[in-house]
Amino acid sequence: MHRFVQTNEEDPEAGGALIGRYISGTGDVVVDEITVPLPPDEQTRKTFHRTQASHQQKIEMAWMDSGHTQTYLGEWHTHPEAVPVPSELDRLNWTEKLSRDRFGESLFFLIVGTERIRAWEGRPGTGVKNLAGKEQSPSLQ
């Protein structure tokens, strides 16, 4: 994700899916890999639209190759701001994913800013909460 930080004014937003594992009995998750922008994703300075098919193929391949332990954990994307704040569109997309996507216990949403990464966790019926208290805002410096 670090290589997609929008440090220059012409850098477009980037994003993808989080693939990893829920650690049974702990409440912990491990992100094993991410997808990165793929054709035909749409990227502009302030928007990123992930196309379903190309990323879904990578998610399904990870599921099969891992013996059904790696799965879809959520989404990540960049923002051209130091400490990223989700836009109204981000929040709407997260709500839609929580009602539409198939996933384990929860979905995670990461936004990579120019100085910090911030994370949110969403669960069906309870909405999305900021994970500020869980060491989720590392410096990119």
Give per-residue pLDDT as tens, 26-80: 989 999 999 999 999 999 999 999 988 999 999 999 999 999 999 999 999 999 9
User: Where along the chain do its domains lie?
Assistant: 2-130
Whole-model pTM: value is: 0.89
What is d(CA 78, CA 68) in angstroms, rounded to the nearest whole number?
Answer: 29
Please tell me the class of the 2-130 domain.
alpha beta
Reply yes or no on whether 13 is catalytic: yes
Q: Which of the following is catalytic: 9, 13, 121, 135?
A: 13
